[in-house]
Structure 1
Amino acid sequence: MYEPWLKAADKPSPALPSYSFGKHLRPRARKIAVAIIGIDAEVAKKTREHLFSTSWAFGKLVVRDLGNLRKTSPDFVIPLLRELHTAGITPVLIGASSSAFTAQYLAFAELNRQVSLLNIDRSIKLNPVGESGEVLDNAVHNKGRRRFHLSHLGAQQHLVDPAIFDLFNAQAYEAISLGPARSSIPALEPLLRDADLVGLNIESINYHEAPARAGLHPSGFSLQEASQLAYYAGNSDKLSSFGLYGLDPEAGSERDAELSAAAYAQLIWYFLQGFSRRQGDFPASSTGMLEYLVDIDDFDKLTFWRSPRSNRWWVQVPASNKKGEERHRLVPCRYEDYLEASSKQTLPDRLMAAFRRYV
């Protein structure tokens, strides 16, 4: 079905043990939950070698390796991703250049859907005043696109034009720099739960754990922290596309490339672990969610929702108009946000910014 876009990758080694990832791929499955796709064939080959030797811990999750793209231009990638989204298949994209994140986003525009995207990178690849070929330009500056929200995690302030932070604030986007992000990784979970797609560039990870990439920038998330973010992404019922970028096999030694490919494999593994533990929460279903009403200054009433399946929380946007698709109108939040609203009569800046997107 997807042969016009893809060519088969090497099969897992038959010598792999029975518990390994490579032994649990479903090469002929038609009802697929997750599809592995190589955007850059060399990077994908190295990643698969490490991924396939890891353990399988995902129960009955159906994962199929669809192979590698025949071409990598955005106009070639977009129709494939559109087909996968329509079929309810979540692609895991193994790329090199972060420019493929643009195609990952534009595939949603082809479906005429409003989209919330989240990028994890050491810098915010955006021109603050107009399109110039940066990765996020099209998402922000092209008025014809149905982009709804943009979040960014892990930017290092000394690498970012201050005008970009001003733009984020004006548009009620979210940008959490590396220091605040690392101070509480669990606090980032609602942002990942709010995203339709995530692109993770390994330049956001500290150099020693993912050295085969451009530039000499030592700081970043630890690989363990990035794996936690990947888990949160996989565990979100809203998210339907996950991409890894930034690995450059020519940067550094062969050992650097193998270590970075192993980091890719680890990130995919934790994304799939999160995926295999999805609870069918909103927006998959709001059935059985518990309602909590809070009287708070500046609002008539605020409605919080909790899922007894996962114990996760959302707050309902109090806007009277219907701007934004309904699935965006419950904003993921934390129990601490509910407590702050109910006991202290305050809301965190993040939720106040979210409400601004509806006025």
Structure 2
Amino acid sequence: MASPDATPRVALLGWDAATADAVREHLYPLAWDFDGLTLSDLGNFRKQTVNFAVPLLKELHGAGILPVLVGRHPTLLTAQYLAFGELNRQVGICVADSDMHLSDSPGTSTESAGNLDAAIYRDRSPVYHLAHLGSQRQLVGPRLDALFLRRHFERYTLGQSRGKLSDLEPTIRDADVFAFDLAALAAGEAPARRGFHPSGFSVQEAGQLAFYAGSSDRLSSFGLYGYEPGNCSHHEQKVTQAAQAQLIWYFLYGVSQRKGDFPVTTAGLHEYVVDSKVTDRLTFWRSDRSNRWWVQVPVPDEEGEERNRLVSCSYEDYLQISQEGKLPDRLRIAFSRY
């Protein structure tokens, strides 16, 4: 087990050189505020194919190095997941995007939809959990709602996501892979991104989500995609490049602030047992180092991986169960996966 004080090493990798190098020009002049964090720039992929990327990412994961991936096309998300899938682990993915690049059934993927298909419909070691943030109702077909219900996935629309960003922190903390598509940003915040929809997160809000991802001791892969310069002016391209650099900066800042609690170690977690109306008894855990909370899934220890049997939650979730006897929807969905 890793030391609770160990800060992971981070590697920056570009998918396509033009996009990644432009982001680097904006990232490197920013203030270095990450004491103890080691960042290595590994340059750009020599080949832009999933088959080429997966072995490299798998090797980085094996060495305890956290990759930060920058590119135009979200196909790299497939490589992000498969690098974990090859390890036969129960992988959780969190995606922020205005649309869902997911087919409603296997074998129906098209060029415009289906970047998540390799994870969701994979025969061997399919994704354990998917959480989707920032989707917009007018862009997502209703047939995907049935898939999310059936697989016990989580979906937070743009309105729900922006309502209270801190409510998304436990969801992000349960993910191994986080992918942010620039299409999740408002057009005015990142004009050189995919799609003509005007709504989305502000860069400030997205920076908060990136910080949550970086500060999670579980998260092991971060991807930033969706840059589409198209017919944008030089100024609009620069603004969007700077937005990407800012999101990476906040992610790195989050990594530098990791506390080394679960799943790095369970030492220092305080136990709270609650008699509940919704189930016989629930056990909550709170970390002294970060003041973050988890709840233990009420199943035998031999079921599922240990890191999935403790589900991230909030102090408000604890109060809702202990004082009101109500099970929050997110925890109900999490328990249903067992």
Q: Report if aligned partners of 1:199, 1:245 keep a CA contact under 8 Å in 2.
A: yes
Letter in 2 for 1:128: D
| 2:182 is aligned with 1:196 | no
Structure 2 residue aligned with 1:154, among 114, 134, 151? Answer: 134
Match of 2:120 among 132, 140, 164: 140
Question: Which position in structure 2 is the counterpart of 1:24?
Answer: none
Partners of 1:114 and 1:248 lie apart in 2 by 33
Counterpart secondary structure, 2:262: coil
1:218-240 Cα distance to aligned partner (Å, 9 max, x none): 00011100000000000000000
Partner of 1:116: 92
Does the alignment pair 1:69 with 2:45? yes
Q: Shift of the alpha carbon at 1:69?
A: 0.5
Instruction: Describe the superposition over 1:238-264 as per-residue Cα deviations: whole angstroms up to 9, x where unpaired.
Output: 000000000023341222111111011
Change (3 A) 1:291 1:118: same
What is the 5 A alignment of 1:304-315? 304-315=284-295
Query: What amino acid is the match of 1:45?
Result: D
Corresponding residue of 1:256: 236
The alpha-carbon deviation at position 51 of structure 1 amounts to: 0.2
Q: Secondary structure at the match of 2:319?
A: helix
The CA distance in 2 between the partners of 1:210 and 1:293, in whole Å, is 46
Question: For the residues of structure 2 that align with 1:44 and 1:56, how far apart are their CA atoms?
Answer: 19
Give the CA deviation at 1:144.
1.6
- Whether 1:288 aligns to 2:268 is yes
Q: 1:105-153: per-residue Cα shift (whole Å, max 9, x none)?
A: 0100111211000111001111111231511111111222342101100
In the alignment, what sits opposite 2:16?
Answer: 40
Gapped regions of structure 2 (runs ≥ 5): 1-6
| Match runs of 1:1-359 below 5 Å | 33-131=9-107, 132-133=109-110, 134-320=114-300, 322-358=302-338
Q: Which amino acid is 1:103 matched to?
A: A
Cα distance in 1 for partners of 2:89, 2:218 equals 13
Which secondary structure does the structure 2 equivalent of 1:355 belong to?
A: helix
- Asked if the contact 1:251–1:257 (Cα under 8 Å) also holds between the matched residues in 2, the reply is no
Check conservation: 2:278, 2:327, Cα contact below 8 A: no
What TM-score do you get using the length of structure 2 for normalisation? 0.95
| Aligned-residue RMSD, C-alpha | 1.2
DSSP 3-state at the match of 2:84: helix
Aligned position for 2:3? none
Contact 2:57-2:80 within 8 A present in 1 as well: yes
The size of the alignment, in residue pairs, is: 328
Percent of aligned positions with the same letter in both sequences? 52
Deviations 1:7-41 (A, max 9, x none): xxxxxxxxxxxxxxxxxxxxxxxx97000001111
Unaligned runs of at least 5 residues, structure 1: 1-30
Instruction: Give me the whole-angstrom Cα distance separating, in 1, the residues matched to 2:234 and 2:160.
Output: 34
Bigger CA drift: 234-243 or 312-321? Answer: 312-321
Distance, in Å, in 2 between the alignment partners of 1:185 and 1:204 is 14
CA gap 1:283/1:251 in 2 versus in 1, 3 angstroms: farther
- Larger displacement relative to structure 2 (126-135 or 284-293): 126-135
Alpha carbons of 1:32 and 1:314: their partners in 2 closer, same or farther (altered >3 Å)? closer
Deviations 1:300-327 (A, max 9, x none): 2100000011000000000236332111
* 1:62 alignment partner AA: T
Q: Partners in 1 of 2:219 and 2:269 — Cα distance?
A: 19
- 2-side partners of 1:323 and 1:296: how far apart? 22
Distance in 1, Cα, partners of 2:316 & 2:158: 22
Amino acid at match of 1:91: P
Instruction: Measure the CA separation in 1 of the matches of 2:243 and 2:178.
Output: 17
Q: What SS is found at the alignment partner of 2:267?
A: coil
The alignment partner of 1:96 has SS state of coil
